[in-house]
Amino acid sequence: MASSYMNQDPDDNRSYKKTVAMCVAAASLVILLFLVVLYVNTEPKKTAVKPPETKEEEREDDFLSDSHNITSSELEFWEDAKKESRTAKADPKEDEGELTPYKDPDSESEEGSSSDKDTDKEKDKDKDDDSDDDSSSSTPKKKRDEGEEGEGSLNKDSKDDAPKDKENYLAVEGYNGKKTYYEILSDVPKNDYDFESNLIHENGMVSYKDSKREGIKGVDLSKYNGTVDFAKLKDAGVRFAMLRLGSRGYGTGTITLDEKFVEYAQNAQLAGIQTGAYFYSQAISEAEAIEEANYIVGAVSGFNIKYPIAIDIETVSGDEARTDKLTSKERTAVVKTFCDTVKGYGYKPVVYATRDMIITGLDLVELGDYDIWLSDENVPTDFPYKFTMWQYNKKGRIDGIDQDIDLDISFINYEQK
């Protein structure tokens, strides 16, 4: 075969090669088509993925155009209003209820500070009522404490190491039992109450009467008090109720309406009990103080509020709060701005704080134009400065409510002020 192939005519030889090449090309094309079909049939099918649905942007409604006919649930949209980015932390606790100590930036540890604090710890909500207060990073008071230098300082290693002129100082006791002494300020007006002679205890409540005035019995309430029979409260001698309208979360900074405010306000007024309102503040700027004041004034505009509108200044212990780093000067500016704004609307502002917070964390000289609502469960209180309302018991019992209640007394008849 080989010899016959080599002896073929050259033209025939080229024709033979051409035929072979065409056969190879055709075979390659068939193989290529086969591979393409195989690839198409074996490629995994892709399913279309829908883009996530976007939630329709919530719309802010006009607030309380007819508020005397609304219920608390109809005000809940305020919880979602103005959720701008704030300097807040995720998942903070909510507190309210009892007063607890405030971190003292001047002390070595958190245990060394004193104050009262809120209980009720729910995540990402409002840090409410009664918290504790303690010294802040800068206070206008002369402070006598261990290792501190400067005017009025006094080294003290134990609670017994008090200044010799102790009557001119106010003691603030920390968790560790140590006391820090703050000089009583001569340029802040003092109260003239004679508690030793004129304070009367009756039916678990305190009353006061002297030649100038007669104390008015009251309570303060928030959603945590549950069901309240205001008619029974009235029969028990209660003439006013300070109602928590809302609060700002100490982690998120979100403003939340107290879900019981509308119900309490309507029922109290039906029972003939005068009402005021308070807002638990965690404002860290004057702009936020104005926001809080505008919020509470807008919410009470449909009610006949005769008693004050209060800013509730407290601190958070056991957790970090957005107000932890406020100095006394900054905190006082927040309070003053809130009160100025409330007064501008024609309401009567008042500052609620514990004894220790007022002594260590606020400048009473700057706040001299505004009334003080003192929280101090020591009866009688040793607080020397002028105050017009006094929360003297946070675990009181009274007809009309089946749990502990905050008891108050007012030394001014705000209905007539």
- Per-residue pLDDT of 7-36, as tens digits, reads 445 555 566 667 667 766 777 777 777 676
The DSSP output letter for 47 is P
The DSSP output letter for 388 is S
**Residue 118 in contact with residue 92, Cβ under 8 Å?**
no
The answer to whether residue 222 scores a pLDDT higher than 50 is: yes
pLDDT of residue 39: 63
Alpha carbon separation from 309 to 92, 95, 285, 300 (Å, rounded): 27, 21, 19, 9
With a pLDDT cut of 90, the percent of the chain lying above it is 56
Residue whose structure tokens are 């006391």: 179
> Where would I find the beta strands (DSSP E) of 23-131?
none
Highest-confidence range of 117-121, 174-178, 244-248, by mean pLDDT?
244-248
Residue 346's closest CA among 388, 308, 372?
Answer: 308
Q: Rounded mean pLDDT of 182-200?
A: 96
pLDDT of residue 396: 96
pLDDT of residue 312: 98
Q: Rounded mean pLDDT of 257-286?
A: 97
Q: Rounded mean pLDDT of 318-331?
A: 94
pLDDT of residue 174: 82
Question: Of 355 and 61, which is predicted with more confidence?
Answer: 355
- The gap between the terminal CA atoms of the chain, to the nearest Å, is 132
**Residue 391 in contact with residue 408, Cβ under 8 Å?**
yes
Q: Rounded mean pLDDT of 224-233?
A: 97
pLDDT of residue 171: 94
Q: Rounded mean pLDDT of 318-322?
A: 92
Long-range contacts of 166-169 (CB under 8 A, 24+ apart): 169/144
What are the residues whose beta carbons fall under 8 Å from the beta carbon of 310, sequence distance 6 or more?
242, 276, 277, 278, 279, 349, 350, 351, 352, 373
**Residue 228 in contact with residue 264, Cβ under 8 Å?**
yes
Residue 331's closest CA among 361, 356, 308?
Answer: 361
pLDDT of residue 166: 84
Angle ∠(328,331,334) on CA atoms, nearest 5: 150
The DSSP output letter for 74 is G
Question: Of 61 and 356, which is predicted with more confidence?
Answer: 356
The answer to whether residue 378 scores a pLDDT higher than 60 is: yes
Residue 358's closest CA among 150, 99, 162?
Answer: 99
Question: Of 258 and 56, which is predicted with more confidence?
Answer: 258
Residue whose structure tokens are 């017009």: 388
Q: How far apart are the C-alpha atoms of 119 and 131, rounded to whole Å?
A: 8
Q: How far apart are the C-alpha atoms of 130 and 112, rounded to whole Å?
A: 20
Q: Rounded mean pLDDT of 101-125?
A: 37
Q: Which of 80-84, 99-103, 125-129 has the lowest mean pLDDT?
A: 99-103
Q: What is the pTM of this model?
A: 0.67
pLDDT of residue 40: 57
CB neighbours of residue 305 within 10 Å:
22
Q: Which of 113-122, 303-312, 315-324, 358-367 has the lowest mean pLDDT?
A: 113-122
The answer to whether residue 308 scores a pLDDT higher than 50 is: yes
What are the residues whose beta carbons fall under 8 Å from the beta carbon of 136, sequence distance 6 or more?
102, 104, 105, 326, 327, 328, 331, 360, 361
pLDDT of residue 172: 94
Task: Assign 91 a pLDDT band (cuts: 50, 70, 90).
Answer: very low
With a pLDDT cut of 70, the percent of the chain lying above it is 64
DSSP one-letter string for 6-19: HTS-HHHHHHHHHH
What are the residues whose beta carbons fall under 8 Å from the beta carbon of 367, sequence distance 6 or more?
332, 335, 336, 339, 351
Report which secondary-structure segment, H or E, holds 390: strand 389-396
Residue 348's closest CA among 407, 389, 305, 313?
Answer: 305
The answer to whether residue 212 scores a pLDDT higher than 60 is: yes
pLDDT of residue 167: 87
pLDDT of residue 347: 97
Dig out the tokens for 395 from the structure.
């675990």
CB neighbours of residue 402 within 10 Å:
12
The answer to whether residue 323 scores a pLDDT higher than 90 is: yes
Residue 413's closest CA among 301, 276, 235?
Answer: 276
pLDDT of residue 115: 38
- Residues 147-166: tens digit of each pLDDT: 333 322 232 333 446 788 88
Residue whose structure tokens are 């300082």: 153
Question: What's CA 10's distance to the chain center, in Å?
Answer: 103
**Residue 159 in contact with residue 168, Cβ under 8 Å?**
no
The answer to whether residue 385 scores a pLDDT higher than 90 is: yes
Q: Quickly list H helices, 305-394.
A: 328-344, 355-361
Q: Which of 93-102, 162-171, 261-270 has the lowest mean pLDDT?
A: 93-102
Residue 217's closest CA among 406, 1, 38?
Answer: 406
